[in-house]
Every structure is written in structure tokens, then in C-alpha cells.
Amino acid sequence: MNIAVIGTGYVGLVSGTCFAEMGNHVICVDIDEDKIAGLERGEVPIYEPGLSELVLSNHKDGRLNFTTSLEDAVHASRVVFIAVGTPSAEDGSADLSAVFAVAEAIGKAADGPKLIVDKSTVPVGTAAKVKAMASEASAQSISVCSNPEFLKEGAAIEDFMKPDRVVIGAESEDDFELMEELYAPFVRSGKPILRMDPPSAEMTKYASNAMLATRISFMNEIARICSLTSADVSQVRQGMGTDTRIGQPFLYPGIGYGGSCFPKDVQALIHTAGENGYEFRILEAVENVNQRQKILMAEKAVELLGEDLSGKRIALWGLAFKPKTDDMREAPSLTLAEALTSRGAEVRATDPEAMETARAILGDSISYHQDPYEAAEGADALILCTEWNEFRRPDFERLGSVMKRKLILDGRNILSARALAEHGFERHAVGLPPVLPG
């Protein structure tokens, strides 16, 4: 099948590449000439495990191409995916200006029947607006369906190639059949393709992310109570998670969620509720809990090191909002670094992939170090922000030898309490009993 994907950001590039991997002919479109030129040279602008290899192989075999010409891509394609950004506006709503601009451009470029697919995360009712805009600009038959993405950064290729489910919100049997033909190779294992109307598909995306964000914030609240009552949140999590009505995923406490999806999707759903005269109190609480959780380890540092952190050196291990990505959007490390430096602390940071992304945001307010032990040199405390595998089993003897004080604030609860105790560290985590020297 001939496909166009408008937008070569995270969702667009992963989607287009995976469709090409299944034998489709895909043209990815972006207005950024430098990005398109880089992709033509095999330079992938985002870090996602396995993506570069697939981009290179499919481009080499002629199934995946890149252009700045939306018109050429639309002419060559039967199905056109919209995968542009929908960032949060100041009021929390999703900014749909790019989606609507692309919809109108597709309508103007259409030289035959086109199925426009909303892959971008958009509020309920957007598909109808996209159809109206594209149809008004075109004399051709235009139909629109909603096909939300459910990709986890760091595992996006696996998620796309082996989805839990495929959600298709369409209005006609022809559109359902066309989309089911496209996705058939991805659901050979029997995973469902769910048919629904476009508004329900749009709501499914927001509802799914809002539920996952709620589980995270709920467990972070439980962890805080555990810290006050001497309970162990890891044991509580196991007791909860083995209940089949609850399950294990997203019950891990930490220093808050970030990324491109959860924060903006929670805000957008709150805004949608408000537009319809409803106050979404649970999600408002979820958002508030998450913002407070991001400064948890800064509060702990103040408790242990004093209100004035001038002259104190603090190491941050991990900057990206989660492992296996260089994405810094809404990363807890940003809030944490600002809270520490505002109190006078010297912050030395390390991350396997996100250092340059972080530098573009934080500038010289902190220092950056490729070697984690160099980042920890002379540190009064080390805060573990991101649960990269590289940080799970450090050389505790070496770490203790370079730090000024053996104090670790484990924001992801990944370090061994036994190993820390054996090497004389003091450890404070999220909802776990502290490890104290001696």
C-alpha cells in the first residue's frame, strides 16, 4: 500500500518506518529541510532502540523515502497519516494548529479519493473538524479516521510491530477494511483490531494515558504514607499487584512521570472536561501529585544537607524522563535541577543519551559528565533520577571512594539496600525504609 506520513517526529518516524518494514511504500514528510536531508543521509534525529537500523534498511531498499513536498507525497498515496505535534497550550488544551494546517494542505493536494488518518493525539471531535477542513479545500472524496498510537518510548518498535490492540475509529465499512488490511501483518498473533466511531477512538487514547498516570500518582501517594508509617512500598506493591483486578504495571513509585504524552494528555483531558462543563477532580489531583513528586528528592536533600545548599555538590544520575530515550520533555530531572541550583547547589549530571538534549534546556546551570563516577566526584549527595540499567549495579567501592559523603537519594528504588549497607552508604528512597550507616 502507498502511504504518506506527515510529520517525522517520534510518532511519525516510528510509524512510517514500521509500515515500510511490512512491505508498504511510505513517504515521510516534514517542513524541516535539514531534518529531511539528514534522514536521506541516514541520520535519525531521535534516539529509539532499533529505529536507526530499520530506517537505514528500508530507505536503502526503496520502501521508505523522505520529502518536504506534501503535495508529492499526497499524490503518491492512498492513505495519509497526520502525525504532527499537538503540544499543550497555556490553558492546558491541545494546540491543533499544525493538525488543521496539514488537513487543509492535504485537501488542496488531493488528486483522488484519500483516507486521512489522525495519528496525532487529538481531543474528541477533531476527526470531524479535519474532515470538514480537508473536504472544503478539495473537490475529491475525503474520509477521515482516528487511529491513536500507544507507543512507549524505549520500546516503540516492539509496541508498533506487536501491538496489544489496534484502535480504529472510522465512519464507513470501506475505511475500516482499508485500515484492517494495512494493520493485518501486525496482529497475526490474534491481538484485536477494535472498531469504533472516531470520537470514541479519540477518547480511548486520552483515557488510557490518564489511567496510567493515575496509577503512578496513586502509588507515589502510597509511598509517601509508607515513609511516614515504616511500611515498605515494595512489599505493598507486590501485595496489590498480585490481585488480578489490579495487576503489576505502572505501580512503581518514583519521582514523577514526564515525557511527551502523560503530562499533556492529562492536561488536555482536564481541559476537555472543563469545556463540557465538568470538573475532572481525580485528574486534577493526579497532576498536582505529580508536580509535587518531582521535588521530593530536593526536599530530602534540604532535610539532610540544610536549607542553604551553597557549597554543596550534588550528582544527578539520569536526566531523560525514562531509560532508553533522550527525551527531556517534562523530565523530573529538570524540576529537580532547578530546585537544587536555586538553593545554591552545584549540580553535576550524567546520562547515557540525554546530555545534549538537557544542555539545550538547562544550559550551563549544571555541569555534564560522560563518566558517572566523575559526576559523583566530591559529591555531598547523589540523586538517582532515571533507572538506566547502567546505574543499577554500580561499583559501590569506587563510588564511595570518590564521593565526599556516602549519601544516595534513590528516586527510582533500584539500588540494592544490602549492597549499600555493606559499603557504608546512607540511602533514602521512595517509600522504602532508609539505609543508615552502621
Residue 303 CB partners (closer than 8 Å, separation 6+): none
Confidence of residue 30 (pLDDT cuts 50, 70, 90): very high
Residue 136: inside a domain: yes
Q: Retrieve residue 388's grid coordinates.
A: 538506566
* Residues 38-64, mean pLDDT to the nearest whole number: 95
Same domain, 286 and 305: no
List, as one string, the DSSP characters of 254-315: -S---SSSHHHHHHHHHHHHHHTT---HHHHHHHHHHHHHTTHHHHHHHHHH-S--TT-EEE
For residue 398, what pLDDT is reported? 97
Q: Distance between CA 325 and CA 119 in Å, rounded?
A: 21
Same domain, 144 and 230: no
Q: Distance between CA 288 and CA 214 in Å, rounded?
A: 11
- List the alpha helices (DSSP H) in 382-431: 396-402, 417-422
* Residues 229-256, mean pLDDT to the nearest whole number: 96
Q: Retrieve residue 202's grid coordinates.
A: 479519540
Same domain, 37 and 185: yes
Residue 99: inside a domain: yes
Let me know how many helices (H) and strands (E) the chain has, helices first: 18, 14
> Quick one: which of 204, 145, 150, 149 has its CA closest to 171?
145
**Quick one: which H or E segment has residue 80?**
strand 79-82
Residue 438: inside a domain: no
**Quick one: which H or E segment has residue 51?**
helix 51-60
Q: Are 183 and 108 in contact (CB under 8 A)?
A: no
The count of other CB atoms within 10 Å of the CB of residue 154 is 17
Same domain, 35 and 75: yes
Same domain, 309 and 281: no
Same domain, 284 and 298: no
Task: Tell if the pTM clears 0.85, that is, is over it.
Answer: yes
Same domain, 20 and 141: yes
Q: Give yes or no for residue 200 having a pLDDT over 90.
A: yes
Residue 411: inside a domain: yes
> Is 28 in the active site?
no
Same domain, 62 and 192: yes
Condensed to tens digits (0 to 9), the pLDDT of residues 379-436 reads: 999 999 999 999 999 999 999 999 999 999 999 999 999 999 999 999 999 999 999 9
Residue 100: inside a domain: yes
Q: Give yes or no for residue 136 having a pLDDT over 90.
A: yes
Same domain, 267 and 281: yes
Q: Are 400 and 423 in contact (CB under 8 A)?
A: yes
3-state secondary structure labels for all residues of 337-377: HHHHHCCCCEEEEECCCCHHHHHHHHHHHCEECCCHHHHCC
Domain boundary among 223, 258, 292: 292
Residue 435: inside a domain: no
Residue 190: inside a domain: yes
* CATH code, 214: 1.10.1040.10
Q: Give yes or no for residue 337 having a pLDDT over 80.
A: yes
* Residues 183-196, mean pLDDT to the nearest whole number: 97
Confidence of residue 437 (pLDDT cuts 50, 70, 90): confident
- Average pLDDT of the chain? 96
Residue 437: inside a domain: no
Strand partners, 409: 383, 428
Same domain, 57 and 117: yes
For residue 436, what pLDDT is reported? 92
Same domain, 230 and 145: no
For residue 303, what pLDDT is reported? 97
Condensed to tens digits (0 to 9), the pLDDT of residues 267-304 reads: 999 999 999 999 999 999 999 999 999 999 999 999 99
> Quick one: which of 47, 13, 53, 49 has its CA closest to 319?
47
Question: 18, 28, 145, 261: which is the annotated catalytic residue?
Answer: 261
**Domain membership of residue 187 as a residue range:** 2-196
Q: Give me the residue label for grid cell 544550559.
A: 363
Total domains in the fold of the chain? 3
Radius of gyration of the chain from its Cα atoms, rounded to whole angstroms? 24
* Residues 237-264, mean pLDDT to the nearest whole number: 95
Indicate the Cα dihedral angle 184, 186, 190, 192, nearest 10°. Answer: -80
> Quick one: which of 45, 127, 86 has its CA closest to 260?
86
Domain boundary among 170, 196, 222: 196
Strand partners, 214: none
Q: Give yes or no for residue 24 having a pLDDT over 80.
A: yes
Condensed to tens digits (0 to 9), the pLDDT of residues 89-116 reads: 989 999 999 999 999 999 999 999 999 9
Q: Distance between CA 272 and CA 279 in Å, rounded?
A: 10
Domain boundary among 196, 217, 235: 196
* CATH code, 49: 3.40.50.720
Q: Distance between CA 428 and CA 79 in Å, rounded?
A: 53
**Quick one: which H or E segment has residue 166?**
strand 166-169
Whole-Å CA distances, 433 to 158, 226, 227, 256: 36, 9, 7, 19
Q: Are 221 and 214 in contact (CB under 8 A)?
A: no
DSSP 155: S
Same domain, 21 and 160: yes
